[in-house]
Every structure is written in C-alpha cells, then in structure tokens.
Homo-oligomer: A and B are copies of this chain.
Amino acid sequence: MYKERIRLPRLLDKVVSADTAAGLIRDGMTVGMSGFTRAGDCKEVPFALARRAASEPLRITLMTGASLGNDIDKVLAQADVIARRLPFQSDETLRRKINAGEVMFIDQHLSETVEQLRSGQIAPVDVAVVEAVAITEQGGIVPSTSVGNSASFAMLARKVIVEINLNMPLGLEGFHDIYFPVQRPYRQPIPLISAEQRIGLPYIPIDPEKIAAIVITGKDDSPSSALPPDEGTRQIAGHLSEFLGREVRAGRLSPSLQPLQAGIGTISNAVLHGLIDSPFHDLKMYSEVLQDSTIELLDSGRLTFASASSVTLSRPVYQHFLANLERYRSRLVLRPQEISNHPEILRRLGLITINTALECDIYGNVNSTHVGGTHMMNGIGGSGDFARNAHLSVFVTKSVAKGGDISSIVPMVSHVDHTEHDVDVIVTEHGLADLRGLAPRERARQVIDNCADPAYRDVLNNYFRRASRLGGQTPHLLEEALSWHVRYRDQRTMRESVPHEAMAA
C-alpha cells in the first residue's frame, strides 16, 4: 500500500523501522520535527527515541513548528530526551519540566525560528523528521495536515527522515504551497498579495539523496482540545460582531471585513463560530491554524477562502474534512509558518487578528504566556507576529478565571507579551474596549468600565485613582502593582480581604 506513496522507486529501499530510523539521531543533536498545533506531527520516530533513551544517554534539542499531539512532548519529556525545546509547546508534563528549569525552552515568534536557522544564528538542524502523505517522482515531500517549519527543516538538515502516514488521504496533495524567501541580502519581495494566491510548490523540494530513512505509520492527528462555545464566549463573539458591524457602517471596513486571523483555543474558535450568523460575507482567513469554526464557516458559505499553516480539528470535523477534501481543495491552502506569519505579508494584507489574553492590564498591555509572571503556559506562538502587524488587533478573554478568584483585568500585567501599542481592542463577556487613538489614562477608563468583572471594578478604579495622583503616562503604585498576583499565589484569590487603603504600604 505504501508503494504508491513513494513514487521515486529508488527510495523504496529506504523504508525501515522507526527504531532503525531513530538510530540516525544521536545524543546532543538538534532535531527538527514536523507538527504545528497538534497537526501533522511525526508519529513513530519520537517514540522510538523515547524507547532508546531508556538504555542509553540521549538528550536532544527539539525544534518543531509549534505544539505536538499524540503526547509526543509528554513521552519525550518523561524519557528525559528533551534538553532544549523551541519555539512552542503546550504539553503539561513538558511545561512542568520547563518551569522547573530542567528543560531550556526558547519561546519564539513563530515567524522567526527559520530566519535564525537560515542565518546560522541558532544551532543547525542535524536531522529533520517530517510527516508526509507521499514522496513525488522527483523526491519532493508532500506534507500532511500542517506545514509549520517542516519545509525549512528538510531543506536545511543534513539528513531527513520521512514518515509516510497511510491514514492521511492522498487527496491532501495539492493543498500545500511551499515558498522560501531568498537569502539576505538578495531577498526579493514575497509576491503574495491575497490570501488565496499560490506562490510556491505543492511539495517540499529537496535533494532525494538527503532522505536517509522512511518510516511507515497509520496514526491519526490528536483531536483539537478546544471546548465548545458557552455563554461567555457567545457574549464575547456578540460584542465583537456588533463592533465590526459599526465599523462597516462607519465606512472603515467593507462587509467582507479584512482577512481574519484567530489564535488557537476555545475563545477564538467560538468567536469565529459566531460569525456564521453575522451579516458579513465573502470573508477570508489568513491565519496560522484553522479550527472547527473555519470548516463550519466554509460550509456555511460565509467564508470563501482560508490560508494557514495547519488544520487542527475535533474528531468529527477532522473525519468530515478528510472525507470531503475535494469540497475544500479550491478554498484552502497550507503554507510554511514563516509565510503564514510573515510580517511582510501580514502588514500588506491588513488582518483583523483575534488572539487570547491570559490577562490584560488597565492600560492595555497583554500577558499571553506566563502565569503569575513566572510560569510558562504554552508560549507566545504567532500572537506577536499577528498583533503587531494587524489592521485591527483584538484580544479576547473571559473577565475572570477560577470561579472569580482571578481577574483577567489587573492593575499591571505580571508579564508582557504584547505592549499597549499592539492592542487595539479588548473584549470580555462584559463588553468591548476600543482603544484606538487613546492615551493610556483614557484606555484605563475603557478597559475598567467595559471589560472588568463588576466584582473587581471598584478596586481597579480605586487603584487607578490613587496611582493617577502620583502622575505619569501610565500611573502605577509600584508597591501594589503586582500585589494581586502575590495575593493569588498565597491566598488563591485576587479578592481583597482588607480595605484598599491598607494595601498602599
């Protein structure tokens, strides 16, 4: 069965067991693996590495596109195979090791990793391991449900291991558009001017001599972990949809809006889902990951085209998508993450970007990554690429977490991923803060009044009032600025049990 998928006959000899292929990876190496938001990860070699690590020292630097599925990061972390990890992850076990300082995690803008690799600024990839649906007659690699950094890993690595996944339909061939920017200083403009345009090849064009091993697999991607919409996410979607409607009526947006980007996760997915019943039409997406909502928007006819670097779906939508590929062929393209997230393209297209905040402060700075300012959740991912270059940068969050013990609106964020310059709109279930053209003191009024949970508004107002007396562009009481986080750390609630005045040390 796999022979029709390896169309360059001399490569048939390269088919080996996962253990044999994994033998190419030695202690201390840098390995670039496919996989982006749980899609298109290689599903055999990582487990062979974990098995081998039981009997010999094996510690590697692991680079990927973004997060992996199939518990790969978990298994590799448990087996102590990962010494360094970049540029993103979302696994609980690995996260624990990162926060314990046992794994060095380099959290990067997703557009930047291969730029640094290409210029030799980070250690070169020794071996690339890439999931594919097929190898072409010329030895080109046809990726599966994600591109991520696979194309650059395969181009830059000395050796390439291909995992042919028989569970991925051959119909995926043709969905990819592989383009590499030329080396600096000879780089030309990237010719992409709209979400639906193709500028590259439908496969990764490498010298077939570099393909050192081929492993056959038949495992599925892990399903998306996004939760279904709930009352809160529906309210967030409603506020945003209403706001966009006002922008259309004011002549600042057309009814087709601007190309949409939405970060991975429950809230973004729910917000996009909410557009199914909106008055907007002929929408396009230019995003890094497509979730269930994208497929639903395509099916509804509301969305005409979607560009991304991966497709991460719940089990039923995944089955539906793979069984109906012909329906999506002309309306969906998968690109390298360097292109899906490239500042040049993003600034040119002018996206409406929707990303999730862990917490926002009253001036509109956003923390997307570090719980309590210290503990890594997943990583910044592509949110910086998108928010900085957006036409309209939206951040969404529920106003509270942990049953109200955490306020997502705080006096000062404990870690900054996105500065106020890159945040145009904040939305919670309570309302929307339109921060465009406002100075920080004006932003504070919008954020507190429109977005904070009513239970925290008085305390925020009190903080802002007392801080303003000390003056400044962004008034703060430095002794108190992070006290909400300290209180949560020590008392498991940000709620005050003493009057505010007593806090002002």
Interface residues of A (CB under 8 A from B): 84, 98-101, 104-109, 112, 116, 119-123, 181, 184-185, 187-191, 193-194, 250-252, 258-259, 342-344, 347-350, 365, 370, 372-376, 380, 384, 388-389, 391-392, 412, 414-417, 419, 421, 424, 436-439, 441-442, 467-468, 470-476, 478-479, 481-482, 485-486, 489
**A100 smallest CB distance to B (angstroms):** 6
Contact between B184 and A343 (Cβ–Cβ < 8 Å)?
A: no
Distance in angstroms between the alpha carbons of A439 and B108 in the assembled complex: 10
Please state if A376 and B109 are interface contacts (CB–CB under 8 Å): no
Q: Given A189-B193, A258-B184 in contact, is the A472-B375 Cβ separation under 8 Å?
A: yes
Residue of A101, A250, A251, A350 most packed against chain B (CB within 10 A): A101
Contact in complex: B189, A481 (CB < 8 Å): no
Select which of B84, B121, B188, B389 is within 8 A of A436 by beta carbon: B121
Residues of B within 8 A of A185 (CB): 194, 258-259, 349-350
**Chain B residues near A414 (CB-CB < 8 A):** 476, 478
Contact A188 B184 (CB under 8 A): no
Chain B positions within 8 Å of A416 at CB level: 365, 416, 419
Interchain nearest-CB distance for A488 vs B (Å): 10
This protein's copies in its complex: 2
* A106: min CB distance to chain B, Å: 5
CB distance from A341 to the nearest CB of B (A): 11
Interface centre among A98, A388, A412, A442 (most CB of B within 10 A): A388
Known: A119-B252, A185-B349, A437-B122. A100 touches B486 (CB 8 A): no
Chain B, residue nearest A436 (CB): B121
20 residue pairs A–B, Cβ–Cβ below 8 Å: A84-B439, A98-B473, A101-B468, A101-B471, A109-B421, A119-B350, A121-B392, A121-B437, A185-B349, A188-B193, A342-B347, A344-B348, A372-B478, A373-B474, A374-B473, A374-B474, A374-B478, A380-B419, A478-B489, A482-B482
